[in-house]
Amino acid sequence: MPAFSQLLQVCRQSAPVTLAEVFSTYCKPESIMKLGEGTFGEAFRAGSTACKVVPFDGTSLVNGETQKKSEEVLDEALICLTLNNLRADRGDNMKENSCGGFIETKDFWVCQGPYDPSLISAWEDWDAKCGSENDHPNVFSSEQFYIVFVQADGGRDLESFALLDYNEARSLLVQVTASLAVAECACEFEHRDLHWGNILLDRDEIPDKNQTMSFTIQGKRMCSKTFGLNVSIIDFTLSRINTGDAILFLDLSADPALFEGPKRDKQVFR
């Protein structure tokens, strides 16, 4: 089966829909806000969700890069689903490996058409305030395909988040390390792009210094204090994983530019 057909199947669609149809499912168009951007896509807040919009299968360059192919976005969707399966259900103590440190993916959509005016407005508002490094989305044609990853809103990225004290810093390190350890044991997971823009943090409205998070690794259940801090790892574009049916990965050697960042701008490939 062609990758595009498999992608539609994963998204439970028979045909692509418009971006407007997707976003109207989660919020009113005028409330959409841009959250951030990456080389391959844009992130928007829609109601209580964060939606990452990634164009694919087109011939035009996106921010100077070749658009991702159906095969690549299909792999990323399957990686998201595999990581979702690490989340422990309430009362579920039977999983050999489980954690809640990877962002929850709630849905996927395949879309087609030009960028919706509501998204363009949100993009331009963010550009005026923050200065976008990406191409204006009005470049996309009516034939353009997109995948929309609908995920939980995990808060602000570490780059723009100010930790209050040592306890929060310790909690951040424990939550990230535990999540990576669990995923490595469960499915040989490697993030391979874990910089501070791909770690989201959120504080409880009423922080409880005794609040704990739990995870299970190789059948052993452990707990650690969060000090009111909730951490989510995002963006699995470059990741590698063993789903049990296949080993999915992006061939990093095919894009040498990934290893040509500015000096002293460290990336953690894990």
For residues 102 and 233, the answer to whether their CB atoms sit within 8 Å is yes
226 by DSSP, 3-state: which? coil
Residue 266 maps to a domain: no
Q: What is the 3-state secondary structure (H, E, C) of 101-164?
A: CECCEEEEEEEECCCCHHHHHHHHHHHHHHCCCCCCHHHCCCCCEEEEEEEECCCEEHHHCCCC
Higher pLDDT, 1 or 71: 71
pLDDT tens for each residue of 31-43: 999 999 988 899 9
Residue 144 tokens, joined: 């353009």
Edge-to-edge strand list for the sheet holding 145-152 = 33-37, 42-46, 49-56, 145-152, 105-112
Task: Give the per-residue pLDDT at 270.
Answer: 42
What b/e readout covers 254-264, taking b as 16+ CB neighbours within 10 angstroms?
eeeebeeeeee
Work out whether strand 105-112 and strand 247-249 pair parallel, antiparallel, or are unpaired: unpaired
Q: Which of 110, 135, 154 is the last residue of a domain?
A: 154
Burial class of residue 14 in the structure, from the number of CB atoms within 10 Å of its CB (0-12 exposed, 13-18 middle, 19+ buried):
exposed
CATH of the domain at 219: 1.10.510.10
The DSSP code sequence of 170-199 is HHHHHHHHHHHHHHHHHH--B-S---GGGE
**pLDDT, average across residues 241-254:** 89
**pLDDT, average across residues 104-127:** 97
Q: Which of 111, 127, 154 is the last residue of a domain?
A: 154
Confidence of residue 252 (pLDDT cuts 50, 70, 90): confident
Task: Give the per-residue pLDDT at 12.
Answer: 96
Whether 147 and 171 map to the same domain: the answer is: no
Domain count, the chain: 2
- Give the domain range for residue 112: 3-154
Active site residues: 193
Report DSSP state, residue 78: H
pLDDT at residue 146 greater than cutoff 90: yes
For residues 125 and 68, the answer to whether their CB atoms sit within 8 Å is no
Residue 121 maps to a domain: yes
Residue 267 maps to a domain: no
pLDDT tens for each residue of 168-205: 999 999 999 999 999 999 999 999 999 999 999 999 88
Taking alpha carbons only, the member of 3, 186, 184 closest to residue 97 is 186
Rounded Cα distance, 238 and 252, in Å: 8
Task: Give the per-residue pLDDT at 205.
Answer: 81
pLDDT tens for each residue of 117-133: 999 999 999 999 999 99
Confidence of residue 92 (pLDDT cuts 50, 70, 90): low
